[in-house]
């Protein structure tokens, strides 16, 4: 057996079903090992390494299992960087194995040599450059453990070709050697008790639930806690599905483009308990004023989140599900009946809404109809832009792991390949990718991958012929000076899909929406693309300008000129 074969055997041991990959000289030993080991692991040959990383990412988000990527050295490896940062920012478990030039040529500008270890350092949870074949199985075992435990994240394993080719005797169960790595589990009981006590004094408490709750499969516990306390719940973009958005106590998403009622609740609460969220700048707005008068509680598995953005009054480190299990035992119903009524009134008075356009089409109605026809049960993978925010508002998430979106990195090109990965992981579930015309063109070549494997993924392209989200900012904050946002030159998306052998539909007015969705959702012989030709000039509301206080929330287009935002991008 050579080291590459040992790696494949190790991956089998860790339950890997798919490798998303792209070959090349330095990675040939691994691709060869896929054949010689006669493995059951299926290689999914993508069209671009970035696509492979987003597929692995989508697979991981939708299944909770780590996604695996295999690429070659140099440009193959550097093409994974965007996928790595996307996974790192959103704490997604992923293993990226990169071929490397032979060890004696390291550092000598060998053909297709890149310092992958160095280049990827800031965008990984951990990484390895394997120096000896004797280390390889231990390295793989460590990589899986590190990627999936604690706060998950991507791990890179860079393997020089001479090492992957080395014959030897390999212990697939090689023991890990991680003396510096600890994984928080149960929270400190006293701290949990203090948190329970804080709820007792609160009259307007609020749960703020993030991706950590989805990652630790704490959906049941979130619901139980909310019900036992009788406390409303707001979720972050990535927390969608941590509680069903159809639950009576759910207020949907908070933050920059959150629902008005969620944001009113944030503004008026007297206690906010963040669970598995990191007070991201998209949700806190103006940092020193965010829930400044409320008691602030922070529950997180990552000790370095303490005080990074906000220094909480109460703090507990550990796994969200384990902490909530304990917290549920400690809490009693809050004195919150009046507050819950107040919040429900906001929900009635300020619902999400949109106007239809005579003879035209809005993104919102396309997404609302999808939500209706899929009974809010679809796995929705989004790209980045206006369509993403409308999808977050109008596609209700009823379970965890059904909402896949690049939150931290905001990576255009993520949605479609992520949907492919999700469909591989959950072949029996409905998977819909929601992209804009801009972002779809960043990874559309994966139409081949979807077509080859006859994946029944629904590829929605919401086409407004603009980089809409940027146009919205230019309109609102830069005196309507549009610059670099016009997508003139867009292809005919229907013909494009058809050229890949992919079934395609088009909708361009309100009258088409229901009918086209019915047809598309019924089509299961392979992928299908749905182009929705949408209004070009719609803007997403509600909106809290970046870095602004919640007071500054716009419910609709402003009538006067706005100041330039002070917050990040």
Partner 1 sequence: MKDFQTHTISVYIRNNPGALMRMCQIFSRRGYNIDSLVVSPAMDGRFSRVSISAKGASDSLKQINLQLEKLVDVVHCIEHTDTEAIVREMVLVKVAADATKRGEILQITKHFGGKTVDFTDNSLVIECSGASSKLDAMIALLGNYEIVEMVRSGQMLMARGGNPT
Ligand X SMILES: Cc1ncc(C[n+]2csc(CCOP(=O)(O)OP(=O)(O)O)c2C)c(N)n1
Which of partner 1, ligand X, Mg ion, none lies near 412, with the C-beta cut-off 5 to 8 A by kind?
ligand X
Instruction: Compute the distance between CA of residue 381 and CA of residue 419 in angstroms, rounded to an integer.
Output: 5
Give the interface segment with partner 1, choosing from 70-78, 175-183, 251-259, 319-327 (CB under 8 A). 175-183
Q: Residue 43, by phi and psi: left (phi above 0), alpha (psi -120 to 50) or beta?
A: beta
112 is catalytic: yes
3-state SS, residue 292: coil
Rounded to whole angstroms, how far apart are CA atoms 451 and 29?
28
Q: Which residue, 453 or 471, is less far from ligand X as judged by CB? A: 471
Among the residue ranges 136-144, 297-305, 404-412, 458-466, the one whose residues contact Mg ion (CB under 5 A): 458-466
What's the min distance (Å) between Cβ of 469 and ligand X? Answer: 4
Binding segment toward Mg ion, per CB under 5 A, in 20-28, 139-147, 347-355, 437-445: 437-445
Give which of ligand X, partner 1, Mg ion, none residue 15 binds (C-beta under 5 to 8 Å, depending on kind): none
464 contributes a contact to Mg ion by CB under 5 A = yes
The nearest distance, CB 153 to partner 1, in angstroms, is 10
Nearest residue to 280 via CA among 251, 250, 258: 258
Annotated active-site residue in 13, 17, 112, 474: 112
- Interaction between residue 439 and Mg ion (CB under 5 A): no
Q: Which is nearer to ligand X, 326 or 371 (CB)?
A: 371
49 is catalytic: yes
Q: Is 501 in the site for partner 1 (CB under 8 A)?
A: no
Cite the DSSP H helix spans in 37-120.
Answer: 49-63, 75-78, 81-89, 116-120
- Length of the chain in terms of residues written: 569
Instruction: State the minimum distance, in angstroms, from the CB of residue 135 to partner 1.
Output: 11
Q: Considering only residues 124-143, where is the footprint of partner 1 by CB under 8 A?
A: 125-127, 129, 131
**Is 127 in contact with 97 (CB distance < 8 Å)?**
no
Of 318-326, 411-419, 468-476, 495-503, the segment contacting Mg ion by CB under 5 A is 468-476
Distances (CA, A) of 442 to 411, 415, 451, 527: 10, 10, 18, 18
Of the candidates 42, 111, 200, 478, the residue annotated as catalytic is 111
The tokens for 94 are 């992923």
Backbone angles phi, psi at 116, to 5 degrees: -65, -40
156 forms beta bridges with: 96, 127
Shortest spacing between CB 145 and partner 1, in angstroms:
10
Q: Is the peptide bond before 512 cis (omega within 30 degrees of 0)?
A: no
Quote the least distance from Cβ 180 to ligand X, whole Å: 34
Shortest spacing between CB 535 and Mg ion, in angstroms: 11
**Nearest approach, Cβ of residue 103 and ligand X (Å):** 34
Instruction: Please identify which of the residues 469, 507, 543, 553 carries the catalytic annotation.
Output: 469
**Least Å from the CB of residue 396 to ligand X:** 19
For residue 434, give the 3-state DSSP assignment.
Answer: strand
**Catalytic site includes residue 111:** yes
Which letter does DSSP use for residue 563 in this model?
P
In angstroms, give the least distance from the CB of 378 to partner 1: 36
CA–CA gap between residue 117 and residue 124 (Å, rounded): 10
* Residues at the interface with ligand X (CB under 6 A): 383-387, 410-413, 436-439, 462, 464, 466-470
Nearest residue (CB) to ligand X, 76 versus 385: 385
User: Encoding tokens for residue 398?
Assistant: 């009823």
Specify whether 341 is catalytic. no
Is 213:320 a contact under the CB 8 Å cutoff? yes
CA dist 430 and 237 (Å) reads 21
Q: Which residue is nearest to ligand X (CB)?
A: 436
Structure tokens, 246: 């159809």
Q: Which is nearer to partner 1, 94 or 529 (CB)?
A: 94
User: Quick one: which of 15, 35, 181, 185 contacts partner 1 (CB under 8 A)?
Assistant: 181
Distance of CA 30 to the CA centre of its chain: 29
Residue 383 binding partner per list partner 1, Mg ion, ligand X, none, with a CB distance cut-off of 5 to 8 Å that depends on partner kind:
ligand X
* Gyration radius (Cα) of the chain, Å: 24
Stretch that binds Mg ion, among 159-167, 261-269, 438-446, 471-479 (CB under 5 A): 438-446
The yes-or-no answer on residue 289 being catalytic is no
What is the helix (H) or strand (E) element at residue 516, kind and residue range? helix 510-522
Q: Which is nearer to Mg ion, 325 or 531 (CB)?
A: 531
Among residues 468, 527, 542, 545, the one that binds Mg ion under rule CB under 5 A: 468
DSSP three-state, residue 213: helix
Distance CA 277, CA 270 (A): 18
**Among the listed residues 276, 425, 436, 542, the single contact to Mg ion using CB under 5 A:** 436
The number of residues that bind Mg ion (CB under 5 A) is: 6
Q: Cβ(263)–Cβ(241) under 8 Å?
A: no
Tell me the angle at which helices 3-13 and 136-148 cross, rounded to the nearest 10 degrees.
30
Burial of 135 (0-12, 13-18, 19+ CB in 10 A): middle
| 98 versus 386: smaller Cβ distance to ligand X | 386
Q: Which of 161, 204, 240, 458 is catalytic?
A: 161
Q: Are 143 and 128 in contact (CB under 8 A)?
A: yes
Q: Which stretch binds Mg ion (CB under 5 A): 356-364, 404-412, 428-436, 502-510?
A: 428-436
Q: Which candidate in 9, 20, 30, 49 is catalytic?
A: 49
Task: Select the binding partner of residue 452 from Mg ion, ligand X, partner 1, none (C-beta < 5 to 8 A, by kind).
Answer: none
Yes or no: say if 129 and 101 are a contact pair by the CB < 8 Å rule: no
**Is 307 near partner 1 (CB under 8 A)?**
yes
Nearest alpha carbon to residue 58 among 10, 18, 98, 97: 18
* Among ligand X, partner 1, Mg ion, none, residue 384 binds (CB under 5-8 Å by kind): ligand X
Q: Looking at beta carbons only, is 120 or 411 nearer to ligand X?
A: 411
Q: Is 178 in the site for partner 1 (CB under 8 A)?
A: yes
561: left (phi over 0), alpha (psi -120 to 50) or beta: beta
Q: Alpha carbon of 122 to those of 53, 84, 125, 139: distances in Å?
A: 17, 10, 8, 19
Which residues are identified as catalytic? 49, 111-112, 161, 469
The residue ranges that bind partner 1 (CB under 8 A) are 117-118, 121-122, 125-127, 129, 131, 146, 178-181, 302-304, 306-308
The residue ranges that bind Mg ion (CB under 5 A) are 436-438, 464, 466, 468
């Amino acid at each position: 057996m050579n080291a590459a074969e040992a790696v494949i055997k190790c991956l089998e041991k860790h339950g890997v079903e798919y490798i998303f990959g792209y070959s090349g000289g330095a990675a040939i030993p691994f691709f060869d090992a896929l054949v010689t080991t006669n493995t059951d692991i299926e290689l999914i040959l993508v069209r671009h390494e970035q696509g492979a990383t987003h597929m692995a990412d989508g697979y991981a988000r939708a299944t909770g299992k780590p996604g695996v990527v295999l690429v070659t050295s140099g440009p193959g490896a550097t093409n994974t960087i965007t996928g790595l940062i996307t996974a790192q920012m959103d704490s997604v478990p992923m293993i990226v194995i990169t071929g490397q030039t032979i060890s004696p040529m390291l550092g000598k500008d060998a053909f297709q040599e890149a310092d992958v270890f160095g280049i990827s350092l800031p965008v990984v949870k951990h990484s390895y450059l394997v120096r000896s074949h004797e280390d390889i199985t231990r390295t793989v075992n460590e990589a899986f453990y590190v990627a999936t435990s604690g706060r998950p994240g991507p791990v890179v394993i860079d393997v020089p070709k001479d090492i992957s080719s080395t014959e030897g005797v390999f212990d697939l169960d090689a023991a890990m050697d991680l003396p510096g790595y600890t994984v928080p589990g149960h929270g400190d009981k006293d701290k949990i008790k203090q948190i329970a006590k804080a709820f007792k004094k609160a009259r307007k408490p609020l749960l703020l639930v993030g991706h950590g709750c989805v990652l630790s499969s704490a959906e049941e516990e979130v619901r139980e806690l909310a019900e036992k306390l009788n406390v409303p719940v707001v979720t972050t973009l990535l927390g969608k599905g941590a509680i069903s958005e159809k639950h009576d106590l759910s207020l949907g998403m908070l933050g920059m483009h959150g629902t008005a009622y969620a944001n009113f609740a944030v503004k008026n609460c007297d206690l906010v308990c963040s669970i598995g969220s990191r007070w991201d700048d998209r949700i806190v707005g103006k940092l020193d004023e965010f829930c400044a008068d409320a008691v602030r509680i922070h529950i997180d598995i990552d000790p370095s989140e303490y005080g990074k953005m906000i220094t909480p009054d109460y703090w507990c480190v550990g796994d969200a599900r384990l902490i909530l299990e304990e917290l549920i035992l400690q809490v009693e119903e809050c004195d919150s009946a009046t507050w819950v009524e107040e919040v429900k009134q906001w929900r009635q008075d300020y619902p999400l809404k949109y106007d239809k356009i005579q003879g035209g089409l809005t993104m919102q109605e396309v997404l609302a109809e999808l939500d209706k026809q899929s009974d809010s049960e679809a796995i929705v993978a989004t790209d980045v832009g206006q369509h993403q925010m409308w999808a977050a508002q109008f596609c209700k998430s009823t379970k965890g792991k059904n909402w896949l979106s690049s939150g931290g990195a905001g990576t255009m090109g993520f949605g479609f390949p992520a949907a492919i990965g999700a469909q591989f992981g959950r072949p029996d579930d409905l998977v819909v990718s929601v992209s804009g015309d801009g972002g779809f063109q960043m990874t559309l070549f994966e139409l081949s991958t979807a077509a080859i494997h006859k994946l029944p993924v629904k590829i929605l392209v919401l086409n407004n012929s603009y980089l809409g989200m940027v146009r919205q900012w230019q309109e609102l904050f830069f005196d309507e000076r549009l610059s670099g946002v016009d997508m003139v030159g867009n292809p005919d998306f229907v013909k494009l899909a058809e050229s890949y052998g992919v079934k395609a539909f088009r909708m361009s007015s309100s009258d088409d929406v229901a009918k086209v969705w019915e047809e598309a959702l019924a089509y299961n012989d392979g992928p299908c693309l749905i182009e929705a030709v949408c209004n070009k000039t719609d803007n997403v509301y509600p909106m809290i300008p970046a870095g602004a206080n919640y007071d500054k929330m716009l419910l609709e287009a402003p009538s006067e000129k706005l100041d330039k935002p002070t917050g990040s991008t």
